[in-house]
Amino acid sequence: MSQTTPLPRPAAPAARRELPEAPFLAAARGERPARTPVWFMRQAGRSLPEYRALREGVPMLDACFDPEMLAEITLQPVRRHGVDAAILFSDIVVPLKAAGVDIDIVPGTGPVAAAPVRDLAAVKALPELEPEQVAKVADGVRLLVERLGETPLIGFAGAPFTLASYLIEGGPSRNHEHTKALMHSEPEVWHELAGRLADVALTFLRAQLDAGVDAIQLFDSWAGALSERDYREFVLPHSAKVLAGVAEYGVPRIHFGVGTGELLAAMRDAGADVVGVDWRIPLDEAVRRLGGRAIVQGNLDPALLHASWPVLEAEVRRIAEEGKAADGHIFNLGHGVLPGVDPDVLTRVVGLVHEL
């Protein structure tokens, strides 16, 4: 499909759990819950010994398509840390893999595409994603809805720019040179690719929402490599298509990227209810850049989870205080949990945030 072709609408959004007491959902609506909610990006992962034991010998993408395994991994940090939200164990390339794109997650490297996509023929050869191709992910969501009790579940997808970057570069990139060159030199090819990837992300999110997730997060991990002008011209319309395409479900929509301090207003303008903020700017400054009215998520530097407790405690307190400038604040990291973090430290941070 091109970027102008609307996807078929679901017949009706599925009924989802009523969670009136969930602090995460209250904060995401701009309310003031009894405690500041906290969850961590990559909270389900290599920092947990129970995760490493379960995943031993199982490739990452295989785990993402195993309903029982993905459900168990998603539940692990909820049990251990007492976080206020679970995030579905998955990866941003899961819908590409499901659709039939030759892409894999290489240990120590990240997503790697077998054949970079750099011309119109390659773009048009990309397969579309059908909902049944991610049925196992949806099955995992249904298991989680049954098992999570009062804890909300966040679904997610990769934003079109970040997905496109992996496909164009062939894997992770420091400079995104091929991506930027394609954007500017062949904008029609770029918009065709980004439009198709918006369709992929939207189909993936709708499958999760129909299965019962309570919120969604759109990860534009590498959008910080762009100027605001380029973001608004080349990226915002496609991310807006994704976020608008799930609006009918009435759940909070979070938008997050790394190094996006200069893009916060643009990312909000794409249709976010909650703007994720990385660790590079204070939350009260982020709120100022967002016009003084915003719901924000963030933004402890993940590296500081390795610091001494007095240092870490002071940082948590500072961020919680700065978050009061927002209409709502969800405490999180400014990116994901690093693999070598002591999980007991994460549990201690959750306890501290809940006390503040």
pLDDT for res 278: 96
As a whole number of angstroms, the distance between CA 257 and CA 237 comes to 16
Residues sharing a CB contact under 8 Å with residue 146, sequence separation 6 or more, in sequence order: none
Residue in this structure with the two tokens 């990227």, named with its chain if needed? 257
As a whole number of angstroms, the distance between CA 63 and CA 90 comes to 8
Q: Are 187 and 247 in contact (CB under 8 A)?
A: no
- The ranges assigned to domains in the chain are 41-276
As a whole number of angstroms, the distance between CA 35 and CA 330 comes to 10
Q: Answer whether residue 15 shows pLDDT above 70.
A: no
Q: Answer whether residue 59 shows pLDDT above 80.
A: yes
Mean pLDDT lowest for which of 170-174, 190-194, 250-254, 342-346?
A: 170-174
Is this structure's pTM higher than 0.75? yes
Residue in this structure with the two tokens 């009790």, named with its chain if needed? 149
pLDDT for res 149: 94
Q: Answer whether residue 219 shows pLDDT above 70.
A: yes
As a whole number of angstroms, the distance between CA 159 and CA 240 comes to 10
Pairing of strands 103-106, 110-113: antiparallel
pLDDT for res 232: 98
- Cis status of the peptide bond prior to 175, with omega within 30 of 0: no
How many C-beta atoms surround the C-beta of residue 51 within 10 A?
A: 21
In tens, the pLDDT along 238-273 reads: 999 999 999 999 999 999 999 999 999 999 999 999
Active centre residues (catalytic):
42, 46, 55, 91, 166
Residues sharing a CB contact under 8 Å with residue 286, sequence separation 6 or more, in sequence order: 261, 264, 275, 277, 294, 296, 298, 299
Annotated binding site for substrate: 42-46, 91, 166, 221, 335
Q: Answer whether residue 128 shows pLDDT above 50.
A: yes
Residues sharing a CB contact under 8 Å with residue 267, sequence separation 6 or more, in sequence order: 220, 223, 231, 239, 255, 257, 260, 275
Range 41-276: architecture per CATH: Alpha-Beta Barrel (3.20)
Q: Answer whether residue 159 shows pLDDT above 80.
A: yes
Amino acid at 142: R
Residue ranges of E strands in 192-327:
215-219, 253-256, 274-276, 295-300
Q: Are 351 and 331 in contact (CB under 8 A)?
A: no
